[in-house]
Structure 1
Amino acid sequence: MGGADGGKGVIYTLADVSKHNTHEDCWLVIDGKVYDVTKFLDDHPGGDDVLLSSTGKDATEDFEDVGHSTSARSMMDEYLVGHIDTATIPTKVKYTPPKQPHYNHDKTTDFVIRILQFLLPVVILGLAVGVRYYTKSD
C-alpha cells in the first residue's frame, strides 16, 4: 500500500475497491475513505456478512444507520488504506413519485351512502313487520 504515509494518500476508484469483495480481501468505502477490513471480519460484532454485503458501494449510510460507538469509529484508522475518488461513486437519485390527477372527493356521495346504510335496513324491517301484521290481521 505504498508510500511513507502507509498508502493513506492513495486515491482509489470504486471499480478498484469493488474488486476487494471476499472474506480473504474485503475493502469498504465509508465517508470518502477506503478501509481494508479483512483482518476485522472475524471480530466484527455484526458478523462478516454485514461487512461483505457493503462492498462495491459507498457504505457510509449503512455504517451510520447502525450507530457505531466512538470507540468503533476510532478503530477505523488502523484499517484506512486511502481515499475514494468520489467522481466514481454513482450519485443517488431522489425518488419522485409520478404525478397523479387531482382527486376531488365528493362528500355528497359519502353522505348518501351513509343514509342508505341506515335507512335501507329500517325500510326492510318495516316492510317485514308490516307484512307480518297485515297477514295476521286477516
Structure 2
Amino acid sequence: MASDPKTFVFNDVVIHNKTKDCWLIIEGKVYDVTPFMEDHPGGDEVLLAATGKDATDDFEDVGHSDEARDMMHKYYIGEVDKATVPKKRAYVAPADRKYNPDKTQEFVVKILQFIVPLVILGLAFVVRSYTKEKSA
C-alpha cells in the first residue's frame, strides 16, 4: 500500500527559490527540481522565475513534451494545500538571481576560440601585405 503524499503549505514551498534549492508548484503538485537546474533546456533562470507562485500556467504555456511530463515524476515530492496558495501574487525575485558564472565562462571560452584564430589570420594578412609593399 502506497503512503499518502506529503502535503505542504504554500509558504513552506516558496522559500525554496534558489539555484541550489528550487521547488515548483505545478497543478497542485510540488516538485524539487534542484537536481534538474543545470540540465533544463531553458536554463535555470526559467525555473527560478517560476518559484514563489503556482507555476502551472508557466509550465503549460511553454508546451512541454510528453517526455518532459514523464520526467517530472522523479522530482515529485508531494502536494500543496491549495487553500494556502494565493490567487494572485506579486513578483518576488529569487534571492540568488545572479548570472551563472559557469555558463558565462563557457560562453567567453567559445567566443575566444572563434576570435583568436581570426585575429591571428588578420595579423598574418597585414604583415604579408606590408612586407610585399616594402619589397616592391
**Which range, TM-score by smaller chain?**
0.5 to 0.7
Is 1:66 paired with 2:52?
Answer: no
With normalisation by structure 2, the TM-score equals 0.62
* 1:111-122 alignment runs, 5 A limit: none
**What is the number of residues matched between the two proteins?**
88
Shift of 1:91: 1.8
Q: 2:32 aligns with which of 32, 36, 48?
A: 36
Give the greater-gyration-radius structure (CA).
1
**What is the root-mean-square deviation in Å for CA atoms of aligned residues?**
1.6
CA deviations on 1:33-69 (whole Å, 9 max, x unpaired) are: 0000000000000000000011110000000000000
Calculate percent identity across the aligned residue pairs.
Answer: 60
2:78 match: secondary structure? strand
Residue equivalent to 2:115: none
With normalisation by structure 1, the TM-score equals 0.61
Q: What is the alpha-carbon distance in structure 2 between the residues aligned to residue 43 and residue 14 of structure 1?
A: 26
Is 1:48 paired with 2:44?
Answer: yes
1:26 match: secondary structure? strand
Shift of 1:90: 1.3
